[in-house]
């Protein structure tokens, strides 16, 4: 029996290797302890149709779950295709089958497209007379001439927009957002400054770059200014809108002024907030660059209404809460040591009840979106459990800073934790939730961060290195991942000091 199980495991491992060889970059396989896999395949010849296969540990004796991803297929077509693939999988039970399922889906889609084409050409009854055909030719010719007379102006390309943002000193590049197509996740948004705009052939594998033809739109803050599919160009005004990016920026700032939301822009260019909040979850981190985009939480006088309407910043995050009392005690001891030397940093300390490791940050623009995110997290609970079935432990050791203003404990982790975070983000994106991570994920636990009032009092924005240099090798302890929490960045806290959590997912 053990020999048969080993043979089955080897067959499955070989199948995963064959899939990656066949589909290359269009196939993503996540494996974890227990012999389970999650396979994502987006065949390049099927345009926007992709497939996700959560593979159980007793596969192929048990067929995998089949998930069809497409923004263009109708619900009925998806239902029919799923029924067909389930039937095929039942017939292949006991044998590796994922490639066969993808090929069966390809054949079904091609047949469906062929049937639709036949239906479209078979609408008429008897053949047209010669006279009728001549009338149709004349009518078609007239329509063609009218269209030619009203030819649409050529639209500036994505490359033109990129060049304008890069070289026009009047345009703050960090205020622009790029919407582009990811082969696996669909439409994603990233900050313009998160990308390398060099030739793709010259960038390293770990640099974020995107082919120009995958760019769908550009935003100035939260306003779309160029959209390929909508033929919208308010950067140059090439499609006849008579608006340019400078017009858009001017109107945007005027609108902010009318709403009374532009106070941050008048604070001498300082890039952190007045508040004493202990959340660092919309900090923008760039690895290996000189970018210092840093944002803290909302101001002390922010209202609930402004919390929901300020669409330029994340307002929720998903995190692992620090529950190990030894870690909390070690952090508290270190913070006390810092405050003994410099008590003015007391408002900057992160309370023990709020300590956490952020996995990603989100923009949820309404209570309904918060409810949808909560339901989505609960729906993938079993999937997330499977990813950490062997357990994940985070080692917290040593300290460092973000831009000398945020002091944090380093989180040392295995690849399975990074895979877990990546898969979580993929699930969120597939549900249309807006992830606001702009740069590379840096696991960390924030210990303290400066605020504007304290910095003015101290005469500097930066934390004095002499306060923490003796803790560079401090071992805080370990934290097991037992649950994850969807947290609000609002100022209110639970009675135990942790963030308000619309949803918590138990992973044990």
pLDDT digits (tens, 9 = 90+) for 249-295: 988 888 877 765 444 334 433 444 444 444 455 443 333 333 333 33
Q: Identify the three-state secondary structure at position 93.
A: coil
Quick one: pLDDT at residue 78? 85
Asked if pLDDT for residue 425 goes beyond 70, the answer is yes
Q: How many of the other CB atoms lie within 10 Å of CB of 290?
A: 5
20 membership: H or E segment, kind and range: helix 2-23
Query: 39: which DSSP letter?
Result: E
> Is the Cβ–Cβ distance between 177 and 192 less than 8 Å?
yes
pLDDT digits (tens, 9 = 90+) for 470-503: 888 899 999 999 999 999 988 888 988 999 999 9
> Is the Cβ–Cβ distance between 247 and 234 less than 8 Å?
yes
- Of the candidates 273, 316, 308, 302, the residue with the CA atom closest to the CA atom of residue 489: 316
Task: Give the model's confidence band at 206: pLDDT under 50 very low, under 70 low, under 90 confident, else very high.
Answer: very low
- The tally of CA atoms less than 13 A away on the side-chain side of residue 185 is 19
- Of the candidates 316, 294, 438, the residue with the CA atom closest to the CA atom of residue 367: 316
Integer-rounded Cα Rg, in Å, for the chain is 27
Quick one: pLDDT at residue 52? 85
Peptide bond into 357 cis (omega under 30): no
Lowest mean pLDDT among 130-144, 297-311, 408-422: 297-311
**Cα 279 to Cα 408: distance, rounded to the nearest angstrom:** 12
Task: Give the model's confidence band at 395: pLDDT under 50 very low, under 70 low, under 90 confident, else very high.
Answer: very high
Mark residue 52 as left, alpha or beta (left: phi above 0; alpha: psi -120 to 50; beta: remaining).
beta
Q: Greatest CA separation found in the chain?
A: 99
Could you give the C-alpha distances from 477 to 218, 254, 395, 434, 470, in angstroms and in order? 44, 50, 6, 33, 17
**Cα 243 to Cα 246: distance, rounded to the nearest angstrom:** 8
Asked if pLDDT for residue 467 goes beyond 60, the answer is yes
Task: Give the model's confidence band at 247: pLDDT under 50 very low, under 70 low, under 90 confident, else very high.
Answer: very high
- Of the candidates 104, 109, 105, 96, the residue with the CA atom closest to the CA atom of residue 19: 96
Asked if pLDDT for residue 301 goes beyond 70, the answer is no
**Signed CA dihedral, 262, 268, 272, 273: sign only:** negative
**Cα 66 to Cα 63: distance, rounded to the nearest angstrom:** 9
């Amino acid at each position: 029996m053990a020999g048969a199980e080993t043979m089955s495991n080897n067959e499955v491992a070989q199948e995963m290797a064959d899939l990656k060889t066949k589909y290359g970059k269009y196939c993503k396989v996540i494996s974890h302890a227990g012999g389970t896999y999650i396979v994502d395949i987006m065949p390049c010849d099927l345009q926007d149709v992709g497939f996700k296969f959560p593979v159980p540990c007793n596969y192929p004796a048990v067929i995998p779950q089949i998930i069809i991803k497409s923004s263009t297929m109708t619900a009925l077509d998806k239902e029919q295709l799923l029924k067909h693939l389930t039937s095929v999988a039942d017939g292949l039970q006991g044998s590796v089958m994922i490639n066969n399922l993808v090929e069966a889906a390809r054949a079904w889609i091609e047949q469906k497209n062929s049937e639709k084409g036949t239906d479209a050409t078979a609408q008429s009854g008897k053949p047209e007379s010669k006279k009728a055909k001549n009338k149709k030719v004349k009518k078609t010719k007239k329509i063609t001439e009218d269209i030619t007379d009203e030819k649409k102006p050529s639209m500036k390309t994505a490359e033109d927009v990129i060049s304008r943002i890069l070289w026009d000193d009047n345009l703050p590049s960090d205020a622009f957002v790029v919407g582009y197509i990811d082969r696996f996740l669909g439409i994603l948004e990233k900050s313009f400054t998160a990308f390398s705009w060099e030739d793709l052939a010259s960038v390293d594998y770990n640099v974020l770059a995107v082919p120009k033809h995958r760019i769908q739109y550009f935003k100035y803050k939260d306003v779309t200014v160029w959209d390929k599919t909508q033929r919208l160009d308010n950067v140059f005004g090439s499609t006849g809108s008579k608006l340019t990016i400078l017009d858009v920026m001017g109107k945007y700032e005027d609108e902010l002024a009318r709403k009374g939301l532009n106070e941050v822009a008048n604070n001498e260019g300082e890039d952190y907030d007045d508040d004493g909040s202990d959340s660092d979850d919309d900090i923008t981190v760039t690895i290996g660059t000189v970018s210092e985009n840093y944002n803290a939480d909302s101001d002390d006088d922010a209202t609930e209404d402004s919390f929901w309407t300020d669409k330029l910043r994340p307002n929720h995050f998903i995190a692992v809460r620090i529950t190990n009392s030894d870690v909390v005690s070690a952090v508290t001891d270190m913070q006390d040591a810092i405050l003994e030397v410099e008590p003015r940093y007391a408002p900057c300390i992160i309370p023990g009840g709020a300590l956490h490791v952020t996995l990603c940050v989100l923009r949820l623009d309404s209570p309904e979106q918060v409810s949808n995110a909560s339901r989505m997290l609960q729906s993938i609970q079993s999937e997330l459990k499977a990813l950490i079935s062997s357990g994940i432990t985070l080692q917290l050791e040593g300290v460092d800073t973000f831009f000398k203003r945020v002091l944090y404990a380093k989180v040392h982790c295995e690849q399975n934790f990074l895979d877990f975070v990546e898969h979580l983000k993929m699930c969120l994106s597939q549900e249309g939730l807006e992830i606001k991570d702009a740069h590379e994920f840096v696991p960390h636990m924030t210990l303290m961060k400066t605020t504007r009032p304290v910095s003015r009092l101290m005469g500097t924005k930066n934390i004095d290195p002499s306060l923490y240099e003796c803790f560079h090798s401090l071992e805080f302890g370990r934290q097991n991942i037992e649950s994850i929490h969807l947290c609000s960045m609002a100022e209110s806290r639970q009675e135990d000091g942790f963030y308000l959590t619309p949803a918590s997912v138990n992973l044990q």
